[in-house]
A and B are shown apart, each in its own frame.
Chain A
């Protein structure tokens, strides 16, 4: 491990509890890689961590412009962190556009490490600064601590004898920055060295050049006078011992589906069509062939879900992954899955809408579509994940409900959870709930006829898969007769079947946990009721509010349909309920309709997550109102 003793001079090391860092540059500057490497090192070091990449939907937006800025934000800490940080303490700005786009989110007094080459006349112009203005020199950054570093020049000097082309050398500048940040936060660089050797197995010279650039950045920190006053920082690791891995929400969804298939002793089939920000679920599962996973990249969203329905009919644990516009296309087929009463997991990674909307940005605006967006009376369970790691547990639960209750289930994630990551203490298979498919056993000719739509006491029918002797039967999208499953247009039968399908979903409430209070008193002035990815911001805000002595609690919904049985009772224990959502107010409608009172809606529809300061300030305002 890198030892502080290696430093050539005595530089003061200050201990800090937590730091939020943003790496920002042009989308070609390698900021995602830098951020990921930094996050890996921090994770292995054992600090708590939360990351969030923020990049444009264009693969290569015009270089140097605000539209082309790509960022990777992370917060690491000695205590648990639930967000990448409302604001950052440190910003690496590789160019003027990166600075301009992100300055508003830098803490006053925060640190700016600016790559001076990105602040030349051309870059300043591209970023839209007025002629002659340069924030590095004109005093506009006086409220921050600015370190102008000629990153490109120093990288070129370090690699001048590497034999690399000048283009290749310039591409290593992100590694220089990475090294400098390792120095600043007294972090070891050996892990990144290993990664580079593994990544460039066939081009060892590339690995060596990248490492050289990183070390140049590290020792630059050491040797320059620049940081003499600031010194270095140390965030001491606090994680409990154990085996960890870092997962994004999308990876967690993919792992969960695979785990559920193994636990249920079913084969996993994923029929899906690439769509931002859900694509990594398909990509991750395509690499899980070792676990027997079958993925099918369909010709469109409809074929994605319909192929999954075919696989589910055949007895597989079937799933499809998508985002809003894709879910809209799958809706007709969801109706088929509802009436066929077969298990199916639909993961919807929400993004800004309507239409193409904001493809790379998170939003929670598909809740209504998930709950109500079907033709006919077609209720199905809807559950939502609240953190990258929770994407595992929620998706797993979606699979359990689908298989055990013979129904399609919509599992909601969003673009924020999908791409964010956090460390996950590796789960033991024994801790995962059992998933028990109810396959209909073979039937002999002398036995009573098989009734495909005969239900158990939970109104669940059995799973009769092709290949099972004696169960040959025909089902379809047409309304079917109670129990026999034969086509029926009988008026009373249709009403009965409609009610039975609804009752089956309502009864799922019997098998899910009761709603709990995440934090705060069981009775009090204000309950903040959240769902989905707002968890981190609400959690942090309520923690801070409780520290101030406020009477506020936090409950977070995983089960949105059906609701946990005690939800109404919980809501009644507070004078006011506030519902923050990244939409124009959707859960608030559902709560109002179900429980007949008026919760306070707090919405944000900007394609960016809530931050804790916004929630805290809303809590403070509401409590003031309650007191007056």
Chain B
């Protein structure tokens, strides 16, 4: 393999979603949110300007981790929880590839929790699509690390007692450089966010609230149905005030460090009092992340945080280039070492 072969090739003329569909039929249950995520990915991938042979999808274990089988790119369906280190290794070895990870709440946050936090702080340029359905689907309905307190499942017949992970807070707390949240049912928004994730240089974490119709149906109903969605969610956009509600008549403002919901129909508050979303502000992103823990606040969707920080592989390549500034080491030099000595003749 020469360096030339490895360089990205220009994308052939206008690929479509169809070009990214593999010959395998998805085996997810009818009505599963995963179908939508796959559909949006197939639409976004042709827009990235990257040839299919330069895209790799990696995954762990779980329903979501079947994703690579259904995309006509390179793909590896790995072992439970370990897609992120596999992706890191691949990205370090081949920085020019577009590397994606499909994972779930169990895969990423339970068995792969250690890899999750360490990958985020290192910031390799990966696009991580985390399907969060707050349940274990493939093993048939056990609670997951994001299941709500009190959820009754086969392994929590009296209700879940472990406090759930807050994916956004965990991402930001781990030193992640990109966090966004989307819904399986809102295809348009999901496409926008997947594109943003692909454009972000660094580890992009996209949490997708994804419905499992079999084991945890309607977990996100309040955020997803037409009549309740507007009042229960808030779409955060760069530079714009945090306005939500069916009639765009409610807003979020900061009282010190505390977010409060205000009524814009009253004389008391106007949009100029509201919090302006700033993706580069880690403090605001941290507060946004915590909205999920407070039922009086709308659930944020959109890009919470995006930070421009050097990627792991770029930093490593820079060190290697620096070490080679006086020349690339030869095999002769390697074998001879730096402390060799000559023995002239036997005495």
Contacts and interface: CB of A to CB of B under 8 A. Distances in A.
A241 B345 CA distance: 5
Interface in A282-301: 288-292, 294, 296, 298-300
B267 interface: no
Nearest to B70: A474
Interface in A232-249: 236-247
Contact of A259 (B71, B87, B335): B335
B28 interface: no
B115 interface: yes
A16 interface: no
B341 A245 contact: yes
A292 B320 contact: yes
* B: interface residue count bin: 35 or more
Nearest to B86: A310
A143 interface: no
A333 interface: yes
A262 B331 contact: yes
A519 to B, nearest CB: 23
Contact of A472 (B58, B74, B342): B74
Contacts of A315: 1, 93-94
Interface centre among B55, B343, B344 (most CB of A within 10 A): B343
A468 interface: yes
B308 to A, nearest CB: 23
A307 B92 contact: yes
Contacts of B345: 241
Interface string B13-35: 00000000010100000000000
A117 interface: no
B60 to A, nearest CB: 10
A187 interface: no
A535 interface: no
A467 B96 contact: yes
Interface centre among A43, A263, A298, A428 (most CB of B within 10 A): A298
A267 interface: yes
A316 interface: yes
B24 to A, nearest CB: 7
Contact of A244 (B53, B97, B329, B340): B340
A388 to B, nearest CB: 14
Contacts of B206: none
A29 to B, nearest CB: 24
Contact of A427 (B86, B335, B343): B335
A477 B335 CA distance: 38
Given A243-B341, A245-B336, A290-B328, A271 B346 contact: no
A192 B346 CA distance: 22
Nearest to B73: A472
A477 B77 contact: yes
B24 A439 contact: no
Contact of B85 (A255, A271, A332, A475): A271
Interface centre among B61, B115, B331 (most CB of A within 10 A): B331
B319 interface: yes
Nearest to A195: B339
Interface in A430-479: 439, 442, 465-478
A188 interface: no
Contacts of A335: 79
Contacts of B54: 466-467
B343 A240 contact: yes
Contacts of A318: 89, 93
A469 B9 contact: yes
B85 A298 contact: yes
A177 B73 CA distance: 66
Contacts of B92: 269, 294, 296, 307, 311
Given A262-B331, A290-B323, A474-B69, A467 B89 contact: no
Given A46-B347, A244-B341, A477 B5 contact: no
Contacts of B9: 469
A302 to B, nearest CB: 6
A246 B73 CA distance: 48
A241 B74 CA distance: 53
26 contacts: A236-B347, A243-B341, A271-B85, A288-B329, A290-B327, A292-B328, A294-B316, A296-B92, A299-B118, A303-B115, A308-B89, A310-B90, A314-B89, A314-B90, A426-B340, A465-B1, A466-B56, A467-B97, A472-B52, A472-B53, A472-B73, A474-B74, A474-B76, A475-B75, A475-B77, A477-B77
6 cross-chain pairs, A with B, having the tightest CB-CB distances, nearest first: A476-B77, A310-B89, A307-B89, A289-B323, A303-B85, A310-B90
